[in-house]
Homo-oligomer: A and B are copies of this chain.
Amino acid sequence: MTAAAPTDRTRLRRAHERGHHDRATIDAILDATPQCAVGYTIDGAPYVTPTLHWREGDHVYWHGSSASRALRACDRAEVCLTVSILDGFVLARSGFHHSVNSRSVMLFGTAFKVTDPAEKEARLTAFIDGLFPGRTGMLRPNTEQEIKSTTILGLEIAETSAKVRSGPPKDDEEDYELPIWAGVIPVAMQAGDPIRDTRNRDGVELPAHLRGWRWPG
Quick check: is A68 within 8 A (CB to CB) of the other chain? yes
Q: How many residues of A contact B (CB 8 A)?
A: 95
Complex Cα–Cα for A135 and B98 (A): 11
Quick check: is A16 within 8 A (CB to CB) of the other chain? no
Question: Chain A binding site: helix, strand, loop or mixed by DSSP?
Answer: mixed
Q: Is the CB of B168 within 8 A of A91?
A: no
| Known A-B contacts A168-B198, A194-B185; A46 and B46 likewise in contact (beta carbons under 8 Å) | yes
Residues of the B chain whose Cβ atoms lie less than 8 Å from the Cβ of A124 = 95
Q: Is the CB of A189 within 8 A of B191?
A: no
| Known A-B contacts A131-B89, A168-B199, A188-B192; A48 and B182 likewise in contact (beta carbons under 8 Å) | no
Residues of the B chain whose Cβ atoms lie less than 8 Å from the Cβ of A49 = 82
A-B contact list, 6 entries, CB within 8 Å: A46-B46, A47-B80, A48-B82, A182-B199, A183-B196, A185-B192
